[in-house]
Amino acid sequence: MFTFTLSNYLYPKFCMLTSRDIRQKYFDFMISKGHSLIPSSSIVPKEDPTVLFINSGMQPLIPYLTGQSDHPQGVRLVNSQKCLRTEDIDEVGDNRHGTFFEMLGFWSLGDYFKKEAIEWTFEFLVDPKWLGVDPKRLFVTVYKGSQNEGEDSEAAQIWKEQFAKVGIEADLGPEYDFKNPINNPDPNKYIYRITKRSGKDNWWGLPYRGPCGPCAETYFLLPGIESDFETSLFPKMNNAEIEDFIENSIIEVGNNVFMTYEGEKNSDKEPINLKPLVSKNIDTGLGFERLLMMVQEKQTMFDTDVLKPLSDIALARSQQID
């Protein structure tokens, strides 16, 4: 457990850290918490015949998450999984979406649950020994609740305790009103039920029946923007500008899934037909390229060291064609 106060806490500039450095730090951190490092599975799935490509870090682990078999390397696992995802293809070209990406993940297969997963996520991001991210630039969302599952007040309380460790008085803010964002009270609460339409935005599940559960998403504010944006910037914006700001300047970097059920979704994508899994599991994913954006202080993932050489080549070739 790490402890420190905001008065003696320094936010080091890790812009010199390369993508390789950051990936290794992640492995080292999770191994120090008792996790076994497993390799990335083939991007062409062997475990799941329902998809053409692996599109998330948990997909190769479905047999173990559903209790069909025991993983040979134990109940605490960590890796970096290569993924290919086409469901976001209409969004590719913005500052954070790609078709091919890495997903840093750690899992508990019936071992620890919410408390440890949230604590370790926060520690890895903000402890100076690891990434040293300024916690004032982090925000989290928790599950709002629906007809078949209640609000995740437990996760909200655990996140509140993490912010308190660094001297930040975080609390659960109101559900964000996108129609009248300028009227939202209690700025800078750090913990939100940000749901554009319903509780589904913090419920993770597969497109078909499978392991699922409430989740807590972690977001970061892009560099160059003051952390008091709700009071300094929003009063100068109209509603459309505020919604665009939230969508494109506050970037999701990770997700703690509290995998509790086997279930599916209805036409409104709300969880239905929930059956408890053999054991409660943790499925945590961090988007590697977005993590680089945050640590290397870039406005887009295409400016990070893992993608900048490729984007430079693409730009040079497009200029030759012109």
Supply the DSSP string of 187-251, one letter for each residue.
---EEE---SSSGGGGEE--SSSEEEEEEEEEEEEPTTS-TTHHHHTGGGS-HHHHHHHHHHHEE
Residue 164: what pLDDT? 92
Residue 193 has pLDDT above 70, yes or no: no
**Which run of H or of E encompasses 123?**
helix 114-126
Residue 263 covered by a domain? yes
- Predicted confidence band of residue 316 (pLDDT cuts 50, 70, 90): confident
pLDDT, mean of residues 12-23: 76
pLDDT value at 287 more than 90: yes
The answer to whether 45 and 54 are in contact (CB under 8 A) is yes
Q: Is the pLDDT of residue 184 over 80?
A: no
Per-residue pLDDT band at 314 (split at 50, 70, 90):
confident
**pLDDT for residue 117 is more than 60:** yes
pLDDT confidence band for 7 (50 / 70 / 90): very low
Q: Band of the pLDDT at 174, cuts 50, 70, 90?
A: low
CA distance 267 to 173: 28
Mean pLDDT of 119-138: 95
Residue 190 included in any domain: yes
What's the CA gap between 133 and 310, in Å, rounded?
27
Q: How many domains does the chain have?
A: 1
68 exposure class (CB count in 10 Å sphere: 0-12, 13-18, 19+) = exposed
Spatial separation of the C-alpha atoms in residues 260 and 282, rounded to whole Å: 9
Query: How far apart are alpha carbons 247 and 241 in whole angstroms?
Result: 10
pLDDT at residue 291 tops 70: yes
Q: Is residue 7 part of a domain?
A: no
What pTM value is reported for the model? Answer: 0.88
Q: What is the pLDDT of residue 137?
A: 92
Strands (DSSP E) found in the chain: 36-37, 76-84, 100-109, 138-141, 171-172, 190-192, 203-204, 210-221, 250-265, 271-287
Conformation bin of residue 145: beta by default, left when phi > 0, alpha when psi is -120 to 50: left
DSSP state of 19: H
Residue 39 has pLDDT above 50, yes or no: yes
Instruction: Indicate the pLDDT class of residue 177, thresholds 50, 70 and 90.
Output: low
Q: What is the C-alpha to C-alpha distance for residues 284 and 140, in angstroms, rounded to an integer? A: 14
Mean pLDDT of the chain: 85
Within-domain flag for 79? yes
User: Domain for residue 4, yes or no?
Assistant: no
Comparing 180 with 56, the larger pLDDT belongs to 56
Whether the per-residue pLDDT at 102 is higher than 90: the answer is: yes
At 71 the three-state DSSP class reads coil
Which CATH number goes with the domain that contains 282? 3.30.930.10
pLDDT of res. 98: 86
The boundaries of the domain holding residue 261 are 20-321
Q: Which of 64-68, 124-128, 203-207 has the lowest mean pLDDT?
A: 203-207
Average pLDDT over residues 182-193: 57
Measured distance CA(161)–CA(164) in Å, rounded: 5
Residue among 274, 284, 292, 316 nearest 106 (CA): 284
The pLDDT confidence band at residue 183, using thresholds 50, 70 and 90, is low
CA-based radius of gyration for the chain: 19
pLDDT at position 284 over 90: yes
Q: Quick one: what percent of the chain has pLDDT higher than 70?
A: 86
